[in-house]
Amino acid sequence: MINNVDPAASLVFSQYSKPKSSEPKKELDKDAFLKILMTQLKYQDPTNTMNDREFISQMSELSMTEQIMNMSESFQDMVNSQMSLFKVQTSNLIGKNVVVENNKINLVNGFSDAIIYNLEEPTKVFVDIYDENDNLVFTKSLGIQEEGMKTFNWDGRNTDGSQVADGTYKYDVYTYKDGKKVKIGGLDGGKVDAVQFEDNQFYVLVNGRKYSTDKIVEISEI
């Protein structure tokens, strides 16, 4: 029967069932929550009023919703402030010398960039070079080397001795310990010419290449 319809439910349904010109909210904010609560109080059955426990529960939910929203806004403000600070700090790297982790080299006219790596102890070293499709084109044992900074200059030829095409190649420098392959990180270094910010990520431009700041292993003055 029509007389049994809850007036509060009818009013809320009529308010939220009307077509809106804007995109409907997927979640109730604190204003909508409070509006529904006040409507319930206004149209409640005088013979069956909302008890104290139910009222306190709903007010607690409202308070918690508001606190979460305020915390979210404060956290976002803090993130934005930190991002601005990081940009200023990262821009101070311009003009400084950095050493970065790297595993790529360019081959131009048969000449490649030097492969640079650091050994913490004497060990037997191997190098593998791959094309852009991850096909192995060159592999070589460099023998046992003493600790310290080392370089290897690839002549642009594959393992069979044939010249390969110019392009960008990836490499692995590694050794074996207890029968297991252990990679030795390659390095690159030079002056930071620029700093770039993309999608909340920070990059430095070194020797014409872009490196993420988390690849930096050393910073020094020129």
Tokens of 192: 């930071």
* Mean pLDDT, rounded, for 169-194: 92
CA–CA distance, 84 with 47 (Å, rounded to integer)? 59
Please state the rounded mean pLDDT for residues 172-188. Answer: 92
Q: Which of 222, 213, 221, 200 is nearest to 100 (CA)?
A: 213
Strands (DSSP E) contained in the chain are 97-101, 104-108, 111-112, 114-119, 123-130, 136-145, 148-153, 167-177, 180-184, 186-198, 201-206, 209-212, 216-220
Higher pLDDT pick, 122 / 65: 122
pLDDT at 88: 73
Rounded to 10°, the helix 7-17/30-42 angle is 150
Closest CA to 186 of 135, 140, 152: 152
Q: Is residue 130 pLDDT above 80, yes or no?
A: yes
Residue located via tokens 């060990």: 123
Q: How many CA atoms lie within 13 A of 46 on its CB side?
A: 0
CATH fold for the domain made of 97-220 = Immunoglobulin-like (2.60.40)
Is residue 152 within 8 A of residue 114, CB to CB? The reply is: yes
**Closest by Cα among 193, 185, 194, 195 to 217:** 185
Q: d(Cα 140, Cα 148) in Å, to the nearest integer? A: 20
Strongest mean pLDDT among 1-5, 56-60, 163-167: 163-167
